[in-house]
Amino acid sequence: MAPSRHPLQRISSPSRTISALIHLVGITSFTLSFRVLTHIASPVTVQYGWYFQYLTILGLALSLFAFSLGFAADVTSNARLFAAKNALVVLAAPLEVLISLLYWGIMAVDKTLLMPSPEFAIPLVPDLGFHLAPAVLLAADLLLLSPPWTIRAYPALGLSMGLAMGYWWWVEVCFGKNGT
């Protein structure tokens, strides 16, 4: 009789070459998104916290860090780098999926809620780089390239709550310095 598999257990992850390629695509996408930010003239660029006031940009930075760790792990086969990447992806993937669902959901209902005037409009390709690519790439990494999840529901909830409280604190700090 064959041993039964846990429903969340997946087949082994793809080759390191495929994993490295996916991580390299993510690194390229996330880096180009940050490059776009350096070319946008906005009052935010001179405020305390720069664009890191926005959850989207914090999620993008977390995604870049996770994929950089993943690529380094693919190249070196370092178990500690894999473990660090997997832990970061467990945090970043749900965050990015939430950001994407909220952003595109609000855009579908009324884009003026996010872009009150035409000068705030983001061209489509950078918009996809900020609000879709991280969610798709991190979800793919979590579901296809990471080992079966070792985190249980309560620690995952605690991790998410810690992230939410940390972001709330950061928003308060930025508001205190910028007044907005």
Q: Which residues contact 67 (CB under 8 A, 6 or more apart)?
A: 23, 26, 27, 30, 85, 137, 141
pLDDT of residue 162: 92
Give rounded-to-5 percent helix, strand, coil for the chain. Answer: 75, 0, 25
More confident residue, 154 or 134: 134
Is residue 72 over pLDDT 90?
A: yes
- CA–CA dist 47, 65 (Å, integer): 24
Q: What is the mean pLDDT of residues 27-53?
A: 92
Is 80 part of a structural domain of the chain?
yes
pLDDT of residue 98: 94
Parent domain of 149: 16-178
pLDDT of residue 150: 67
Is 51 part of a structural domain of the chain?
yes
Instruction: Report how many domains make up the chain.
Output: 1
| Confidence band for 8, pLDDT divided at 50, 70 and 90 | very low
Q: Which range (5-9, 40-44, 111-115) has the least confidence?
A: 5-9
pTM of the shown model: 0.87
**Mean pLDDT of the chain, nearest integer:** 88
Name the residue among 23, 18, 12 with its Cα closest to residue 88.
23
pLDDT of residue 119: 77
Is 2 part of a structural domain of the chain?
no
